[in-house]
Structure 1
Amino acid sequence: MVFRSLRRAALGVGGPAVDTVLDDPETRPGESLRGAVHLTGGERDVEIERIVLTVLTRDGSATRELGRHELAGEFRLKAGEARAVPLQIAVPLGTPITHVFGERVPGLAVGVRTELEVAFAHDPGDLDFVAVHPLPAEAAALEALRALGFRFKDAGLASAPVPSDWNSADVSQVFDFWVAPQYQQIATEVAVGFTTGADFVELVLDGAVRSRHDRGEPVDWEAEVDRLMRQIGQI
């Protein structure tokens, strides 16, 4: 799959065009996005000072930066010249998940912004959206919640303070579920989060109880969710 975003850079009439092409706009935290930035020269030669790629997350009207990578340094783009600059940018482990159970989370988005800087001008760039799916262990835990009878309510970035180890990119995401009938005496809804490292994943319920495992370890997530819910009932 190739994802294209063609636009004319905001560098004045007759300026260069920028076409960001991702090999695949589907990704997961900790993976990389690959593709190329295609430049087409305008009516005159321009000195490109640098091309910067930034991974951003947007929750409603709030935008936060997750990672930044300088793709290319100074070079001259001649009038009418076509040039492709390969791109690769890491998707931080703490990047919010935008798609749950195959559906997009309303109001939450992640994208890559391509910024073009030339002498005495700066094109802030458009945001090219990507779909961020859960890592396998996270997906298995979320599926276990659904199998137990929990109903997905919504997800977003936390506005209230949460434990600092909920993320690795200064962004905290919470998945809200209506609890399954068998736990109605404990709570009516529960907040679900993940702490994900290079080699581990930790399921966190209501910011209070947690279950940590190696990312490649087979886990009975239904049993773990049941155990954590009963711990919440004892708090």
Structure 2
Amino acid sequence: MVFKRLLGSLGVGGPTVDTVLAPGAATPGGILSGHVHLRGGSGDFDIDHITLELVARAEAEHEDGESHGAVAFGRFVVGGGFRLAADTEHSVPFTVTLPWETPITELHGQPLGIVLGVRTELAVAGAKDKGDIDPLAVGPLPVQEAILEAFGQLGFGFKTADLEYGHIGHTSQQLPFFQEIELAPSPQYAHAVNEIEVTFLATPSGMDVVLEADKRGGLFSSGHDALTRFTIAHDDVHRQDWNAVVDGWMRQLVEHRAAHGGHASYGHGHGFAGHHEDHAHHDGGHRSGPGMGTVVAAGAAGLAVGVVGGMVAAEVVDEVGDFFEGDDEDEGGED
């Protein structure tokens, strides 16, 4: 989708900016390319710089409950230092690299309810205008897709996905938020857990997979949360039986009986991919709530991409246009 905006800081007669992203979904750690199209106004203007800002809609928990805000997580200067003559057109191509921890917004072309955007900032003759936001679509890395497919084939159902502001302890998390993908348990584990939350923290060499189980209480015990972390390499994607790997992760998570607050320790995954660490924790005691109402069902052939509950794609686009506008005061991130 293309957005155009008259630079409000310059008033009537100012230049317009029109950012067009390359078609298709990007990937975490991958390339994002496109063009920033400028059209001159009624006079000549000096373009100081053109900056692209990555923004995300994230949820934060605090004493008064939960709130949502726009969080900046990347800035790239892609042009500037030229004069835009009146009524002329100028196009600036760009190619930038997304952070490895960039959340995924879609799976098999179906949106998951995560709202990301690319905001174009134009500095003209000392005045800045942030313009509008283009929706940013991000698909999974091959190993992320393999893990999610395995969950689907094992009978887990996708419920929601959201972004949580904060950090997960004992990890190398870089962004100010993390993504949680919430799953309904398969029949095999329904007696033991209410839901599973999956978080991917990717790096150039691999990624941490953090699993959190909301465990059911027994007759003489109360339910509690259990977390564990597994580290895998990107090139493991073609080396593993991911159904067996994920099932092994789940068995280890469900069977884990350590007391709350135990310190983390590393160990091998007993035949699973990579290393694992028990009891990673969310700094600030964060617990996620429902996302945007997206429900993705699991199918026998992997992840069924039927979306229950309405026009999710349209809702995501509306969120980009409506939510980020006027949320500058809630932003954090890179300068």
TM-score by length of 1: 0.91
Size of the aligned set, in residue pairs, is 232
- For the pair 1:199 / 2:212, whether they are aligned, the reply is no
Deviation string, structure 1 residues 119-162 (Cα, Å, up to 9, x no partner): 24221111111211111100110010011000001011125652
Post-superposition shift, 1:74? 2.2
Give runs of aligned pairs for residues 116-155 of structure 1, distance below 5 A. 116-155=122-161
Distance verdict in 2 for CA 1:161–1:53, change over 3 Å: closer
Q: 1:120 to 1:201 in 2, by over 3 A?
A: closer
Q: Which of 175, 179, 190 is the matching residue for 1:184?
A: 190
Find the partner of 1:214 among 224, 229, 233.
233
Q: Is the 8 A contact 2:4 2:132 kept in 1?
A: no
CA distance in 2, matches of 1:160, 1:65: 13
Aligned to 2:169: 163
Report if the CA contact (8 A) 2:151-2:243 is conserved.
yes
CA–CA distance in structure 1, aligned partners of residues 108 and 229 of structure 2: 22
Structure 2 SS opposite 1:188: strand
Q: Distance in 1 between matches of 2:53 and 2:24?
A: 15
The residue number in structure 1 matching 2:249 is 228
2:167/2:177 contact within 8 Å kept: no
Q: Aligned pair 1:94/2:119, yes or no?
A: no
- Matched-pair contact (CA < 8 Å) for 1:166–1:172: no
- Determine the C-alpha separation between the residues in 2 that align with 1:136 and 1:21: 26
Closer, same or farther: CA 95–164 of 1 in aligned 2, 3 Å? farther
Which residue pairs with 1:75 in the alignment?
82
User: Which deviations, in whole Å up to 9, do the C-alpha atoms of 1:48-83 show, x marking residues without a partner?
Assistant: 111111111123741111110111232211111111
In the TM superposition, residue 233 of structure 1 has moved relative to its aligned partner by 2.2
Alignment-mate amino acid for residue 26 of structure 1:
A
Report how far residue 101 of structure 1 moved. Answer: 4.6
Matched, 1:84 2:105: no
Query: Which structure 2 residue ranges, 5 or more long, are not aligned?
Result: 60-67, 213-225, 257-335
1:47 touches 1:76 (CA, 8 Å); kept in 2? yes
- 1:102 and 1:39 map into 2 onto residues whose CA distance is 30
1:80-108 residue CA offsets vs partner (Å, 9 max, x unmatched): 111111112221111111113532122x2
Distance 1:136 1:94 in 2: 14
If the length of structure 2 is used for normalisation, what is the TM-score? 0.65
Specify the SS of the correspondent of 2:243.
helix
What is the match of residue 111 of structure 1? 117
Q: Secondary structure at the match of 1:122?
A: strand
Alignment check: 8 A CA contact 1:186 1:232 kept: no
* TM-align CA RMSD: 1.9
Q: 1:33 aligned to 2:39?
A: no
Q: Identity, % of aligned pairs?
A: 38
Q: Which amino acid aligns with 2:229?
A: R
Contact 1:51 1:72 (C-alpha < 8 Å) held by counterparts:
yes
Higher relative contact order (CA 8 A, sep 6+): 2
Secondary structure at 2:177 match in 1? coil
Structure with greater strand share of residues: 1
- In 1, the alpha carbon distance for the partners of 2:143 and 2:74 equals 23
